[in-house]
Amino acid sequence: MEMEMTAANFLRDLIRIEALSGQEQALCDRVIAEWQHLGFDQAYRDDIGNAVGMVKGQEPGPAWLLLTHLDHVHAGDPAQWQHPPYEAVLENGSVHGRGAVDIKGPLAAQTYALAQLLGRGERPLNDVWITAPVQEETGGLGAAHFVTHPPAQMGAVIVGEPSNNQLMLGHRGVARLKVRFTGRAHHASLALNDENPIFALAEFLKRVQAKQFADYPVTGPSSLSATQIFTDSGSDNLTPNTVDVMLSWRYNESDAENRATLAELLAGLPAEGQLEEIWTPANTPGFATSPEHPLAQKVGRYAKRFHAEPGVWKFATDGRYTAREGWPTVGWGPGDQWLAHTTQEAILLEDLDAYSEALSALLLNERASS
């Protein structure tokens, strides 16, 4: 007998398919097969590899867009996991594995919100498009393609990234930045600190630590964090010619303001660093939707059964692309966001199912347009 397909079983199937960025085709095929099996009106792989589906609504008008993605980060050392990362172990009501939270759990939940309607012989009020793009984890290539080749007029977007089922109003931008400090290599016994670029790096990091960013509505203040340091020394007895530091910049300010801040932080130091242009994989802005926006109010009525107040994500999402196109965008998805990218990644099926039920009710009763 064929096993009855449920959101939980679908999720477990998805976790068993590794889908690193740029290697999503097998997962895309499985997602499309599920959408076809469930009776979606459209289900296909687009020109760049995104999974795209649609369920026809009762009324004409702008459509809903449900947005997740296909790719996930590497599992790392399997020995660090309580359960093997690609076995999708079900234990104590939770499914464990890489992608359970980010992003296969939300993808399964959005899929089965639509499946609930179709299973009852119902239709959403407006058309609902659902897409799982490629390469979200490496800058959003799939979403960038989708928003410039939309299959319909989108009236509202729900980004299904994990939020513990809390309404999310946006997130800050993200830029990855390398700064190189230069000096002159010499025997460590000489202790020529003014020629050792590590000391210039230390001064720079003090400036970064002391930098105060303005508080912004919705998303709060920006932040700048050092993540990795590399030298060309190769020896305990040799100072380096160069030291590179990698920084993660979560920002609200304009591109010009960010470049001015970087120049201020580097002033007088033997260093150079350059922000990439915006809308490249290494530098993308965020988005912010007012809590008073009609979409936030609409989705908030259904999200309030889980959390009374909205929040914002610390991490970036493909909502930056839909918001740039002028499509009203909010976030709302199941799963503990703090488990994303960790070796403890798991999702409670109770939370997944509760989200699917609430999203199904929203799509049945609410129009995508304001």
**Domain span including residue 274:** 179-283
d(CA 186, CA 344): 45
Report how far residue 25's alpha carbon sits from residue 19's, in angstroms, rounded to the nearest whole number: 8
Q: Is residue 111 part of a domain?
A: yes
Position 127 in a domain? yes
Residues 249 and 175 sit within 8 Å (Cβ to Cβ)? yes
End position of a domain, from candidates 225, 258, 283: 283
Mean pLDDT of 58-79: 97
The answer on 232 and 111 residing in a single domain is no
- Residue 33 pLDDT exceeds 90: yes
> Percent of the chain having pLDDT more than 90?
98
Instruction: Let me know if residue 143 belongs to a domain.
Output: yes
Final residue of a structural domain among 260, 283, 306: 283
Q: What CATH number does residue 126 fall under?
A: 3.40.630.10
**pLDDT tens figures, 293-328:** 999 999 999 999 999 999 999 999 999 999 999 999
The answer to whether residue 117 sits within a structural domain is yes
Q: Which of 242, 259, 283 is the last residue of a domain?
A: 283
In a domain, 1, yes or no: no
Q: What's the token pair of residue 221?
A: 């203040």
Indicate whether 2 pLDDT > 60: no
Residues 14, 110, single domain; the answer is: yes
- Domain total for the chain? 2
- Tell me, yes or no, whether 2 lies in a domain: no
Residues 6+ away with beta carbon under 8 Å from 254:
none
Q: What is the pTM of this model?
A: 0.93
Q: Are residues 57 and 161 in the same domain?
A: yes
> Is there a single domain that holds both residue 292 and residue 267?
no
Together in a domain, 230 and 291: no
**Does 146 map to a domain?**
yes
Structure tokens at 336: 């503990």
Residue-wise pLDDT tens digits, 153-210: 999 999 999 999 999 999 999 999 999 999 999 999 999 999 999 999 999 999 999 9
Q: Do 279 and 299 fall into the same domain?
A: no
* Rounded Cα gap, residues 65 and 328, in angstroms: 10
My answer on whether 34 and 96 are in the same domain is yes
* CB 369, CB 62: distance < 8 Å: yes
Whether pLDDT at 1 is above 60: no
**CATH number of residue 238's parent domain:** 3.30.70.360
Flag whether pLDDT at 100 surpasses 50.
yes
* Within a domain: 161: yes
Supply the pLDDT for residue 370.
75
